[in-house]
Amino acid sequence: MNKDNALVVFEDKKIRREWYNNEWYFSVVDIVEALTNSPTPRQYWGKVKDREFVQFELSPIWVQLKLESTDGKYYLTDRNQ
């Protein structure tokens, strides 16, 4: 398996990923953008976390790892397997 930090493309949307602890982790914000076409996917994700996790009793365990941004810098972002 190639463990490059390559982008995954889903319906022409780029989804960042990283190999960490022998597993792939994907950017949740990128996935939200790809599935919702929201102009503000980070805010959308923040509202989902605030509202839905309590209502649906979803696991609040998220790993924050640094992913490369469009400006070439690395920032912490929520990720899930």
| Coil/strand/helix, residue 22 | coil
- Side by side, the strands of the sheet bearing 74-80 are 17-20, 23-27, 74-80, 63-68
Report the distance separating Cα 27 and Cα 48, nearest Å. Answer: 15
For 30, list phi and psi in degrees, rounded to 5: -65, -40
Which comes out higher in pLDDT, residue 39 or 12?
39
Residue 19 in domain: yes
Residue 3 in domain: no
Residue 1 in domain: no
What tokens does 25 get? 């982790």
- Total tally of structural domains belonging to the chain: 1
Range of the domain at 32: 8-80
Residue 76 in domain: yes
Residue-wise pLDDT tens digits, 47-65: 887 777 666 665 556 667 7
Residue-wise pLDDT tens digits, 9-30: 777 888 888 888 888 888 888 9
